[in-house]
Amino acid sequence: MDVLIKKARVIDPTQHLDSQLDLYINSGILVAMASNLEVDHVRQVDGSGCIICPGLVDLSCNLREPGYSQKGTIDSETAAAAQSGYTHICASPSTSPCTDTPAIVQLILDRAHQARHCRVYPVGALTRNLEGQQLSNMAALRDAGCIAVSNGSGDCDENMTLLRCYEYAASQGLPVFIQAQDKHLGKGCIHEGAIATRMGLDGIPIIAETLSISRHLQLLHHVGLRGHFNQVSSGSGVELIRQAKRAGQDITADASIAHLSFNETWVRGYDSQYHLHPPLRSEDDQQALLVGLADGTLDGICSAHQPHEEAAKKAPFSSTEPGMASYDMLIPLALQLIRNQTIDWVTLVDRLSIAPARIAGINRSGLQVGVKADLCLIDPNYRWTLDASTAVSTGTNQPLWEQHLQGRSLLSICP
Amino acid sequence: MTRVKQLKRPLQLTNDGQLRHFLTIDGLSKTLLNNILNTAESFIIVGSKAVKNVPLLRGKTVVNLFFENSTRTRSTFELAAKRLSADVLNIDILTSSASKGESLLDTLRNLRAMQSDMFVIRHADSGAAHFIAAEVTPDVAIINAGDGHHSHPTQAMLDMLTIRRHKSNFDQLSVAIVGDIRHSRVARSQVQALKTLGCSDVRLIAPDTLMPPHASTLGVTTYRDLDQGLEGVDVVMVLRLQTERMTSAFLPSANEYYNFYGLTRKRLQRAKADVIIMHPGPINRGVEIESEVADGKHSMILNQVGYGIAIRMAVMSMVITGQACQSRETNYGCVD
């Protein structure tokens, strides 16, 4: 990679940097960053009106491999991630077989390395086969390359088992990623509210999330383990996180781009593209998530990318598979948060890149001269249509399909 | 994307507002509901003649697709189609390709390839009829014969016909719906039909475990106590209680339910003297209703069955007309 990017707005909150600069990248190294750089015989990119920031970091995505290659592969989905500006992504353990052995971790890392789109950090299974009963070989998973452990979208029924899991994870120095939802209360397919009642669909009450968050908070506190909550969906959930942080507990949290961008009203007409787990909640909940994102209660935005094949969404609503392939839509949706004045550019870069990197424990130097470049270039005014010619993910579950979108990552450089 | 999703033309209507599918009462106008009732009234006369057939669906193929067991709904749909002179195909889906792993999508596409004109569908998933109308066979008229807990619009309309034939204006009536409302597609459709037709006093009576969360958003008054809820009502609609509710922590026992929510002669004294009793059937005597009430002078339960044929004839003839009109126009995407 040999390129000179001219006149871009360079944002790196770790250096309190927000200025218009030129960047020269040679052989993957950020050689120079200054005003009015001139370099001969090199490809120039006009960065006017564009943003350069440290590469984006995803705290939750499903790469589908091994086991679900009809939905996506590590090659196809890391390519989609890179196209959206991600340079580092944390992969959920919910594969088949799940990420509960070093062999699976190695397979994922090998495939990601071969694909060369972005760096992948596997999140190991907290329990064997994600069944919530027997501890996984966490030390071996850590040595194989897992940066955290998680039980995915499943839950442990037994408090004693969960306590032991957390004690063991703490002793191996592994933080835990939690998607908090009570297994039994979470059996529906839509937010429990007026729309669910009208549509005759089984609702998932907010207490399915808050009960689970409270339980995990207490167990984490008891053990002294660092925890990260993925995909918080409700205002009450955000409030529990806020209180725990105020009390000094070592926790972090994110919300998915879908939960920040949509709400339960989008499900009307039984639109299975908006069938998510946890479900899209009320407009009030969406607003509370946006407030939480702005005030830092929610540290990050995750993609919660879950690609599906077409058949997975072609059935009556409750029989469809939950999830959204969000990588290709991520930048336009994230920019909407700036346009509706939820957050500014510096905060957006923090929530999509800086804070997630810190939470995942990824050591990187930011936009430093002399080290390998790790950045993305975003054009917030780029107008395009999401269709077969522009989509990179193989997931067909993209609700903004064939819509005109604004904003795109033009370039990402992965170290 | 904080705006509320914009809806286009309702899926079940043509561009000029005629029925082309019959999926739900939700979103239909009072005029349209009255049209259905008026058309059904004319078919009641057909039913009383020596030769009961009319040629409105001659040459059309109606497929009854029941993914759930049903005796009376399915037989009244079959009878209604035959009285309209349609060819009727009954697919016993429980023993067909669905049990061999074929998806709903593929089953429907195959039936569509057989040049069917109308599918009458019952399915355990809420929204199944919407899905089929929107995604699978937009050019085949779909009649929802019950989807999950969502909607059973022909049942609600036959209930409205029953009320209209035996009571005065809807806006003067107090109507109580008693029983397992949470799991009832019938109750949801009844509430929507009653509200659309102008009934301002709709009461839902059930313990919280059988009441849908946020039920008051349906525009009704909710009661936990049967006696209070029955006070001065003109119509009582009793819902069937499925025995599985006793084994899945919704209710303690059938006996306790009968003692506190069963409709008995004694309880009925709180209603108006000329109250009418309705039930979508099949009834559980001694569980949700006392035998003497089910068979008594206030009961409309058997009248409902007869009206069911007329309503289904009305809806089938209306959607076939609407479907023919729409197919001549541009089909653009629509949702509801």
List the single best residue of A207, A270, A309, A404 to mutate versus B (max B Cβ within 10 A): A270
Angle between helices A207-223 and A159-171 (to 10 degrees): 50
pLDDT tops 60 at residue B331: no
Q: How far apart (Å, rounded) are the C-alpha atoms in residues B125 and B147?
A: 6
Mean pLDDT of A59-67: 96
Q: Where are the alpha helices (DSSP H) in A124-206?
A: 138-144, 159-171, 194-199
For B315-326, the pLDDT digits (tens) are: 999 999 888 877
pLDDT tops 60 at residue B58: yes
- Confidence band of A253 (pLDDT split at 50, 70, 90): very high
Q: Do domains B2-152+306-327 and B153-304 have the same CATH topology?
A: yes
Shortest distance between the Cα of B47 and any Cα of chain A, in A, equals: 34
Nearest chain B residue (CA) to A287: B2
- Both tokens assigned to A148: 């955290």
pLDDT of B94: 66
DSSP helix/strand/coil, A135: strand
SS3 content of chain A, % helix, strand, coil (to 5): 35, 25, 40
Mean pLDDT of A59-77: 96
- Confidence band of B336 (pLDDT split at 50, 70, 90): very low
User: pLDDT above 90 covers what percent of chain A?
Assistant: 96
- Confidence band of B100 (pLDDT split at 50, 70, 90): low
pLDDT tops 80 at residue B108: yes
Place of tokens 């033309």: B9
For A133-177, the pLDDT digits (tens) are: 999 999 999 999 999 999 998 888 899 999 999 999 999 999 999
Q: Where are the alpha helices (DSSP H) in A234-373?
A: 235-246, 257-261, 283-295, 330-339, 345-349, 355-360
Phi/psi of residue A132, nearest 5 degrees? 75, 25
Tell me how far CA of residue B316 lies from CA of B9, B49, B118, B127, in angstroms.
21, 20, 8, 20
Domain ranges in chain B are 2-152+306-327, 153-304
Question: Is the minimum CB–CB distance between A265 and chain B shorter than 8 Å?
Answer: yes
Contact between A200 and B126 using a beta-carbon 8 Å cutoff: yes
> A340 to chain B: which residues are within 8 Å by CB?
2
Mean pLDDT for all residues in chain B: 89
Contact between A270 and B213 using a beta-carbon 8 Å cutoff: no
Question: Is the minimum CB–CB distance between B180 and chain A shorter than 8 Å?
Answer: no
Nearest chain B residue (CA) to A189: B126
Contact between A269 and B131 using a beta-carbon 8 Å cutoff: no
What is the CB-side half-sphere exposure of residue A255 using CA atoms within 13 A? 34
Q: How far apart (Å, rounded) are the C-alpha atoms in residues A323 and A231?
A: 12
Contact between B125 and A319 using a beta-carbon 8 Å cutoff: yes
Q: Higher-confidence residue: B210 or B7?
A: B210
pLDDT tops 70 at residue A207: yes
Tell me how far CA of residue B273 lies from CA of B223, B250, B298, B314, in angstroms.
21, 33, 9, 32
**A-contacting residues of B 215-274, CB under 8 Å?**
215, 217-218
Return the C-alpha torsion angle B110, B113, B116, B121, nearest 10.
20
pLDDT of B101: 64
Mean pLDDT of B6-11: 66
Q: Where are the alpha helices (DSSP H) in A48-206?
A: 74-83, 102-115, 138-144, 159-171, 194-199
- Confidence band of A101 (pLDDT split at 50, 70, 90): very high
Pick the CATH number of B153-304 from 3.40.50.1370, 3.30.70.580, 3.30.565.10, 3.40.30.10: 3.40.50.1370
- Confidence band of B113 (pLDDT split at 50, 70, 90): confident
Mean pLDDT of A269-293: 97
Q: How many other C-beta atoms lie within 10 A of the C-beta of residue A102?
A: 17
Question: Is the minimum CB–CB distance between B126 and chain A shorter than 8 Å?
Answer: yes
For A333-365, the pLDDT digits (tens) are: 999 999 999 999 999 999 999 999 999 999 888
Contact between A315 and B148 using a beta-carbon 8 Å cutoff: no
* Whether the bond into A66 is cis, omega within 30 of 0: yes
DSSP helix/strand/coil, B144: strand
For A336, the closest of B1, B130, B151 (CB atoms) is B1
Contact between B125 and A263 using a beta-carbon 8 Å cutoff: no
> A192 to chain B: which residues are within 8 Å by CB?
213-214
Homologous superfamily assigned to A3-51+370-384+404-413: Urease, subunit C, domain 1 (2.30.40.10)
For B213, the closest of A197, A268, A311 (CB atoms) is A197
Q: How far apart (Å, rounded) are the C-alpha atoms in residues B182 and A89?
A: 42
pLDDT tops 50 at residue A223: yes
CATH (residue range B2-152+306-327): 3.40.50.1370
Contact between A315 and B104 using a beta-carbon 8 Å cutoff: yes
Contact between B151 and A200 using a beta-carbon 8 Å cutoff: yes
For B125, the closest of A197, A286, A318 (CB atoms) is A318
> B105 to chain A: which residues are within 8 Å by CB?
311, 314-315
For B127, the closest of A199, A203, A340 (CB atoms) is A199
- Confidence band of A72 (pLDDT split at 50, 70, 90): very high
Question: Is the minimum CB–CB distance between B123 and chain A shorter than 8 Å?
Answer: yes
User: Residue A62 in contact with residue A306, Cβ under 8 Å?
Assistant: yes
Contact between A316 and B5 using a beta-carbon 8 Å cutoff: no
pLDDT of B138: 67
Homologous superfamily assigned to A55-360: Metal-dependent hydrolases (3.20.20.140)
Among residues A53, A23, A60, A55, the alpha carbon closest in space to that of A39 is found at A23
- Confidence band of B327 (pLDDT split at 50, 70, 90): low
Q: How far apart (Å, rounded) are the C-alpha atoms in residues B263 and B285?
A: 10
Q: How far apart (Å, rounded) are the C-alpha atoms in residues B320 and A252?
A: 58
Range list for CATH 2.30.40.10 in chain A: 3-51+370-384+404-413
Contact between B217 and A198 using a beta-carbon 8 Å cutoff: yes
Q: How far apart (Å, rounded) are the C-alpha atoms in residues B160 and B310?
A: 12
Shortest distance between the Cα of A402 and any Cα of chain B, in A, equals: 13
Question: Is the minimum CB–CB distance between A203 and chain B shorter than 8 Å?
Answer: yes
Question: Is the minimum CB–CB distance between A319 and chain B shorter than 8 Å?
Answer: yes
User: Residue B64 in contact with residue B78, Cβ under 8 Å?
Assistant: yes
Question: Is the minimum CB–CB distance between B147 and chain A shorter than 8 Å?
Answer: yes
Tell me how far CA of residue A355 lies from CA of A121, A331, A348, A350, A362, in angstroms.
16, 17, 10, 6, 10
Of A35-39, A224-228, A314-318, which one has max mean pLDDT? Answer: A224-228
User: How many residue pairs from chains A and B have C-beta atoms closer than 8 A?
Assistant: 98
Phi-psi region at A170: left, alpha or beta (left = phi > 0; alpha = psi -120 to 50)? alpha
Contact between B4 and A319 using a beta-carbon 8 Å cutoff: no
Shortest distance between the Cα of A152 and any Cα of chain B, in A, equals: 27
- Both tokens assigned to B77: 């749909």
Nearest chain B residue (CA) to A258: B1
For B188, the closest of A193, A200, A265 (CB atoms) is A200
Question: Is the minimum CB–CB distance between A263 and chain B shorter than 8 Å?
Answer: yes
